[in-house]
Structure 1
Amino acid sequence: MENKNGNENSQSKPVKQYFEWGDIKWIQENNDLKKSKFLIGHVTLLPGQNQEEHNHSGDEQLIYVVSGQGEQWLNDRYNSLLPGRIYKTPPFAKHEVQNTGKSPLEMIIVYNIDKYDINQLIPAENILDNFYLEDPAKIIDVERLQKIQDKFSEDSYLGIVIKDIKGNLLTTPSNIPEFCKIKEKNMEKCFINKEFDKNDIVETTVYDCCYDVKRIMAPIFLGEKLVGTITCGPVIIKNPNPEVEEKIIKEYKEDGDQLLKAYNSLRRVSREQLYAIIETLRTMSNSIVETSVINFINKERQERTFQILKEAETRSKLERTLVETKMKVIQSQMSPHFLFNTLSVIGQLAYMNGAKEAAETTFALSSLLRTTLTKSLEFVSVNEELKYIKDYLFIQNKRFKDFIKTDIDIEDKVKDVTIPFLTLQLFVENAIVHGFKNMQKQCELKIKGEFLEDRIKLSVKDNGVGIPKERLDNISEEIIKSSGEGIGIGLTSLKSRLEYYYGKNFVFEIKSEYGNGTEVILILPINRKKEVK
């Protein structure tokens, strides 16, 4: 234990404390805690009264019954208290005493401040080594901490404040005495709002506040990282000094009498009691740490288990979708209307212009169908995807008589990167089917690919009719919910495939202005999360 800024008189007078149930007169105190930690007191418990359940967190106690009769509960075990007998209360025990007789129950109590090494209560290894914590204080169970704090404050008749490393309150302060409230009202920094230097908080420390008042501060560590502090007090170790009382009256004038009354009501403790409080604070600190760490690890394990189950469900759902897609690939990627119109074009060309253009169109269609059937479940290079798109556009231009002007600008490094098959084709098809619908001007389509360090950026832009804002919002919502209608179905399916292969590590964006065209942007990592089996 360290004492900051405190010089105490080695002589101390007996201190008598009064309670509703009786009183304690401390008849022996020890000034040097390093040599001995014994404290002797004379307890008077009035008839019909009981000392409510309290904790002996940092001390053990011997009770010698002088006169009277009573009973005690020690960790829920009952004993009669009879004159001439000695009873022992071990450290970290719950204790309650009651006077069952008609005369005062007189007892001599001997406190021995226990020498347990609190650090041994928590495993030495840092069990957080396998977990990353951006803000360790966030894992503390504040609700449970508040209950522990309130209970300890109630048992010890002391105010308690718990803060994080930045000085912000982690809990609501408990049992703050009137003395501190008056000082705070006068814009003074009491122990509630007093700042601290985190470099000084390495062990439980006693600090001077004011007017011989002390406060005790204990650090809260997670592993080797300081995450907060527990401050307890205020207490007076020795009897109030008349000079201090005069100083209070003189300095506070109007509030002097009120502050003096509050000052005299502060708890008075011996040095041994103070040490017991410190040990209790250390126990409390480690209890907070242990509980918070266990809760954090359990939560992390639950989240990881849920993530694994979710991935398995997503994988199973995608596999079912891919099987269905393979069986219906021609229908889903090129509608029956497209096939019908294409065949009609071939017939017209064969009739009007001979076999050459009909043969070219037929070859393009054949290549399109062959690629669709053989590559439907695979990753292809951007270059292979472009060849497919060119065949598709060739047929569409024959249908619309070169009404679609295409500009393809793909960087060479992008062409070798693999992407899910029919990714760009879906954007191109949507532009032609929806964007160029009822267009009276030249239709323009721009396909662009850029290399961005460990990613590629692909975009398909048209000068079509665009998408009304309300419809664009609906499409975006359908894609997010993984359910869509019309134009949203293909995009929703694509998003599900991208999530499977890339996780959340991709960008999928649709920009559109009604009457001014649409641009679809896709940014993909070069290395995907999942490999194709």
Structure 2
Amino acid sequence: METFDNTPFQQNQDIIQPVLENLSNFYRLWIKYVSCSGTYVITPINKQQCNFCRLIRNHPVGYQRCRETARRCVYLDPHRHHLFPCHAGLYVLAVPLQGERGPIGALATGEIRIDDGTVDTGEVLQKVADLGLNRERLSRYYEEVPVKKREEILLLGETLYAISNCFIRLGSAQAKVRQAEIEKALLESELRALSSQINPHFLFNALNTIQMFSYLEGARKTPDIINALSNLLRARLSVNDLLTSLRDELEAVNSLLFIQKTRFEDRLQVVIDIPDALLDARVPALSLQSLVENALIHGLEPYEGIGRLELQAEVRGRDLIFHVRDNGVGMTPEELAKITGRLNRKEIFEEAGEIGMANVQKRCLALFGEGYGIRIKSEKNRGTEVTIRIPFTTGDGRRNEDFIGR
């Protein structure tokens, strides 16, 4: 099952939002995109849900029933639109959405009274009587619900079905483009690896030998540094997947920081604030290493005072966001604009994929699409903050529902 975050509706939300907005205003209905879990993901900005539905959804049991109705919209026959009564007696128009791997949500509009004389106010109030809501308010709010002719709603259903097909086809085309970009990046990576091939077993054996002799000769710090270097090289030379666990990425980051703290001596303070609950999250391989290394080399190495580096992670909505901050030399507005422009250019896919911010940005855009990747804030002599936003997924490729909706 695909989640909202890898569907054409997330990738093109800036396009579909005004489409739903205009249709909602024209039909005086609340048209929304519903996720597979029954959550309203894209809703009209300038139009609110009707008072009748809002009153019912404010009740815990009513909310769950509304959510189950929304979930039902997702799993109907995806080859047509559907009109059916909800648990509270109003009608729901639903267009189920089908991706390549299964349901990806639905376009739906509720809050409809059909002008066919089949349902009266008393029958509707009886359906929600067990919620114990104010009957007079419910009756008044029910009379406010727009009354539509069945033919008008069915015509809207055909329109939504056509719109959904357009976006699904657009998403399929975009996915093929991204896949081609990923394959090209992988081919370039394989070519670079071939031209600068190194035997990992020889390297690790040599480092182990050096570590053993330094220990026998009484060098106290050298074995630890060599061990950290071995761990770091092992992480970089054994990358087989585009994504790795945050746990493994942090292990490599800590090895990098151990080596750099030895070199910086007392000039470097490091703060890592990442909850253990996030350690199973999937992140682009070598991404945090690259950003931390960039902060050390370009931000703190030229800095004459006590350097401070912070690595923080947070969950925001359905995304995982990392912040890498330093109090180093920073950048002028011109320098920042140059780097930001380079990151935002689509030609970045044609550049050599060195391990660095450009490479991390390229992989984020190829893997996750627009809206993800790197953002930079910096002031000269005030430091730099690099933020990377990625979808929050765990080892099985699905959302971590423990955090969504908090």
**TM-score of the superposed pair, with normalisation by structure 2:** 0.50
**Higher normalized helix content (fraction of residues):** 2
**Higher normalized strand content (fraction of residues):** 1
Q: Which has the higher contact order (CA 8 A, sep 6+)?
A: 2
Larger radius of gyration: 1
